[in-house]
Chains A and B, each alone.
Chain A
Amino acid sequence: QVQLQESGPGLVKPSETLSLTCAVSGASVSGYYWSWLRQPAGKGLEWLGRLFSSGTTNSNPSLKSRVVMSVDPSKNLFFLNVTSVTVADTAVYFCARSRGYFDYWGRGLLVTVSS
């Protein structure tokens, strides 16, 4: 059974960098695409970007290059950085396995941007 678990700070100050980790178990990160998504409270889902185990990435242009993703296959982890955050970046952040569609998801992590 594939399981994903997000971790990271739940509170980030405006203008700082949001940094999250996704730990994958039950499968190797190698050979798959992995994505980050988010959902503001009471709103819909937004795809932030995806990365392949080789390190190749695709990001959503709506975030204007603030998204940086990376992977550590040796630890079965992948990472998200969102730079220069504002209150608009407050959301539940999900990591997911990406086959175009998303078949396995983490439980989500609420990140609040506030001073």
Chain B
Amino acid sequence: DIQMTQSPSSLSASVGDRVTITCRASQGISNSLAWYQQKPGKVPQLLVYAASRLEGGVPSRFSGSGSGTEYTLTINSLQPEDFAHYYCQQYYQNPYTFGQGTKLDIK
């Protein structure tokens, strides 16, 4: 299985900050990487797929980048509604696997 390692596991930031979350794959995944946001008690929401393609309706302050084994999710100008858990997921190879998650909370 491809192991996905997210860092940091938790992050405190303020409204207006720029934050970056990193996801490392145990082998190359050819940009087959998605990012999700999940708020407590809610369903995960797709933010980014194919490493850098923004899902429809997702604010442009979210962006994804990376290649090979290392990928990042960047949130520019954090808004109050952005404080949540974030997960990366590889779909290069079965079984599909997720990172352990990053909790983004308010400083």
Contact = CB atoms under 8 A, between A and B. Distances in A.
Count chain B CB atoms within 10 A of each CB in A44, A99, A103, A108 and give the residue with the most.
A44
B46 A58 contact: no
Contacts of A47: 89, 95-98
Given A44-B99, A44-B100, A103-B55, A94 B43 contact: yes
Nearest to B49: A101
Interface string A15-45: 0000000000000000000010000000011
For the residues of B in contact with A, the DSSP-based class is loop
B46 A102 contact: yes
Count chain A CB atoms within 10 A of each CB in B34, B91, B96, B99 and give the residue with the most.
B96
B87 interface: yes
Contacts of A46: 98
Contacts of B98: 44-47
A108 B43 CA distance: 7
B43 A45 contact: no
Contacts of A44: 87, 98-101
The size class of the interface chain A forms with chain B is 10 to 19
Interface string A51-80: 000000010111000000000000000000
A100 B43 contact: no
B44 A102 contact: yes
Given A45-B87, A103-B55, A60 B95 contact: yes
A13 interface: no
B99 A105 contact: no
23 contacts: A35-B96, A44-B98, A45-B36, A45-B89, A47-B97, A47-B98, A58-B94, A58-B95, A60-B95, A61-B95, A94-B44, A99-B49, A100-B32, A100-B49, A100-B91, A101-B34, A101-B46, A101-B89, A101-B91, A102-B34, A102-B44, A105-B43, A107-B43
Interface of A: 35, 44-47, 58, 60-62, 94, 99-103, 105-108
